[in-house]
Structure 1
């Protein structure tokens, strides 16, 4: 095998690789020797077929495999000898298209090498860790929100018309073509107007009714309705209004606390306080991480593989375009050209990504199987009833696994750097923390 360098500019590399005909023939012979013990042929005992006959019978078929393995082996040996790590999959092309058996193989290989990452003295990094406590006002606000979600209903003044959001108690009887149908009747049914729990158009016709009224509600069952005998049919519901109730927030007391699994109101306040402070800690970590990345970005400069920057800029531009055009779900849209702003952001992301990867590798940081399983479980919860299918999909999809593993790895590297950096606790108010988060989003 001969390897000749043809390009060495910055991070760009180019090589001509020649695999000789003798090397290729030896590879084919090696494969035949390996397979020979299991080959049977008429007139010969198993494993005793002459090599010349095997080569005539199977040599052509094995040549393609031998060529691919020889090229792959030449590339692997090159990377092992040179120490280069390609930024992306190398471009490989066989140049002698008129190749025939007995010829050498000529291959062109080109790639961009990952740069050498300079050493960073992480102990020189100085960061503030914002600590915000849950004050009484914040806990009370959260309690009020909980009370809203646990709303109750109270009778409206006699003669008051119902409004959207009210709860009306009704007796109803549904008919299609004048005939009552199964499941179309109920008594004392509490229906919240605007909940969309009934057939489209039903609830809107009960806005403005009063206790004691009898109302006919005319609706059409959806074409895809579950009961085939009702799908697409016009129906009339005879409704008697028995109560009209306005929504009201639940009272903030021990009874409310028990609805949310707490022993009493004091215990519920304690749980809310813990949850708020966990949210504050998450926001504070995000701010601290941003400040860390800003510091690293200023400390370290090195040449970046153009292909990685170009790919990242394209991805940023594409994502931002979809954010600005949420109605376009697919990718049938005009080509999106990255701007200078996109390219600048891409350079930062690529630089920091390579740096964090280098730091993690040197520190021997790894994402454990348990951490991956936990991440998969967390994401699977977004697909109720399809958790098993999601797990199987991830297990069979290496690219999806990498997408899930990458943020876990980055967070572990960031925590590692936090431990080495000089971090000072800084007590702040919720508003100060919020301003810091908003400032981060505005950058």
Structure 2
């Protein structure tokens, strides 16, 4: 087997790999010898079929496997010997279209090698860690939102008209062609106007009614309605309005706290403060991560594989185009050419991606099965009712698994660098933190 260099230009590499006919024949014989004990042909006992007959019967079939294994082996030896790591899957092509058994096999392999990546002094990196304490006003605001989420309703003043958001307590009887239909009646039914929990158009016709009023509501059942006998049918509902109630936020007290699993109001306040500070901490981490990436991008420069930069620039251009054209859902549009700005951003992303990957490799950072399982389950929960189909799909889709793995790995590498870098705590207000977060979005 012979490997000859044909290209060495920057990060671009090219090689010719020659596998001799004798080497191929030897591999085929090895495979036949391995299979011989299990082969049984007419006229021969199991394991006693002569090698010459085996070769005549199965040799041609095994030649393709032998070729692939020989080429894969040569590539593996090459990468082990040179230390090259291809940026993307190498392009491997067979030379000559008229190959026949007994000829040498010649293939051309080209790829872009990953560059030598300088090792930055992570302990020399200095970062500010923004700290925001939950102020009393922040806690009170959060408690107010919790109280609003607990829907209580109180009867409006007599003679008041129902508004959207009010709860109307009604009796109703549904009819098709003037005749009541099964399941179309109820008494003392509490319906929140604007909740869209009834047939389209039903709630709209109750806006403005008063307690004690009787009203006939006219609707048409949707074509996709669950009951077969009602699909697309026009119907009327005789409605009696018994009460009009307006929404009232719950009192912020021990009773509210118990509804959210806390012992009393003080315990609920402590929980809210802890949650708020965790949210502030997540935002502060994003700000510190951007500062870290900026520092690394400034400190470390190296050659980038053009194919990676080109692929990243095209992806950025494509994503931004769809953000600017939200009405286009498919991908059957024309080619989207990256701009200079897209290329600059792609270079930064590729540089930082390679650098973080190298730091993680040297630090032996790994993703555990439990971490991947949590990520997969979190993604599956975004498809309620179809979780199992999603899980089946993702188990067979390596590209999707890699998409889930990449951000977990990056975050673990970033945390590793935070542990080594010099961090300085800086107490700021919630508004200061929000301003810093807004600046991240402006620069994105």
Shift of 1:203: 0.5
1:25 aligns with 2:25: yes
- CA distance, structure 1, for counterparts of residue 11 and residue 237 of structure 2: 75
**Corresponding residue for residue 429 of structure 2:** 429
Residue 358 of structure 1: SS of its match in structure 2? helix
Shift of 1:94: 0.4
**Corresponding residue for residue 200 of structure 2:** 200
- CA distance, structure 1, for counterparts of residue 364 and residue 251 of structure 2: 54
The TM-score normalised by the length of structure 1 is: 0.97
**Corresponding residue for residue 257 of structure 2:** 257
**Corresponding residue for residue 244 of structure 1:** 244
Residue 246 of structure 1: SS of its match in structure 2? strand
Residue 172 of structure 1: SS of its match in structure 2? strand
Count of residues paired in the alignment = 443
- CA distance, structure 2, for counterparts of residue 6 and residue 152 of structure 1: 78
Residue 229 of structure 1: SS of its match in structure 2? helix
**Corresponding residue for residue 329 of structure 2:** 329
**Aligned 1:41-60 pairs, distance under 5 A:** 41-60=41-60
- CA distance, structure 2, for counterparts of residue 218 and residue 321 of structure 1: 45
Shift of 1:268: 1.2
Q: For residues 66-100 of structure 1, what are the alpha-carbon distances to aligned partners after superposition, in whole Å with 9 as ceiling and x for unaligned?
A: 11111111111111111100000000110111101
Shift of 1:162: 1.2
- CA distance, structure 2, for counterparts of residue 438 and residue 247 of structure 1: 34
**Corresponding residue for residue 83 of structure 1:** 83
- CA distance, structure 1, for counterparts of residue 62 and residue 387 of structure 2: 43
- CA distance, structure 2, for counterparts of residue 161 and residue 337 of structure 1: 58
Shift of 1:48: 1.3
**Corresponding residue for residue 270 of structure 1:** 270
Stretches of structure 2 that go unaligned for 5 or more consecutive residues are none
**Corresponding residue for residue 172 of structure 2:** 172
Residue 229 of structure 2: SS of its match in structure 1? coil
Residue 106 of structure 1: SS of its match in structure 2? strand
Q: For residues 359-391 of structure 1, what are the alpha-carbon distances to aligned partners after superposition, in whole Å with 9 as ceiling and x for unaligned?
A: 111111111122222222333332334444443
- CA distance, structure 2, for counterparts of residue 251 and residue 394 of structure 1: 46
**Corresponding residue for residue 155 of structure 1:** 155
Q: For residues 134-169 of structure 1, what are the alpha-carbon distances to aligned partners after superposition, in whole Å with 9 as ceiling and x for unaligned?
A: 000111111111122113222222222211111111
Shift of 1:230: 1.0
**Aligned 1:212-361 pairs, distance under 5 A:** 212-361=212-361
- CA distance, structure 2, for counterparts of residue 137 and residue 121 of structure 1: 42
1:129 aligns with 2:156: no
**Corresponding residue for residue 142 of structure 1:** 142
Shift of 1:341: 1.1
- CA distance, structure 1, for counterparts of residue 325 and residue 240 of structure 2: 47
**Corresponding residue for residue 365 of structure 1:** 365
Residue 238 of structure 1: SS of its match in structure 2? strand
Residue 92 of structure 2: SS of its match in structure 1? strand
- CA distance, structure 1, for counterparts of residue 161 and residue 129 of structure 2: 55
Shift of 1:4: 1.1
- CA distance, structure 2, for counterparts of residue 334 and residue 257 of structure 1: 56
The TM-score normalised by the length of structure 2 is: 0.97
Residue 184 of structure 2: SS of its match in structure 1? strand
- CA distance, structure 2, for counterparts of residue 272 and residue 157 of structure 1: 35
Residue 314 of structure 1: SS of its match in structure 2? helix
**Corresponding residue for residue 411 of structure 1:** 411
Stretches of structure 1 that go unaligned for 5 or more consecutive residues are none
- CA distance, structure 1, for counterparts of residue 388 and residue 232 of structure 2: 35
Q: Which moved more, 1:359-368 or 1:377-386?
A: 377-386
- CA distance, structure 2, for counterparts of residue 185 and residue 169 of structure 1: 13
RMSD (Å), alpha carbons:
1.3
**Corresponding residue for residue 15 of structure 2:** 15
Shift of 1:201: 0.7
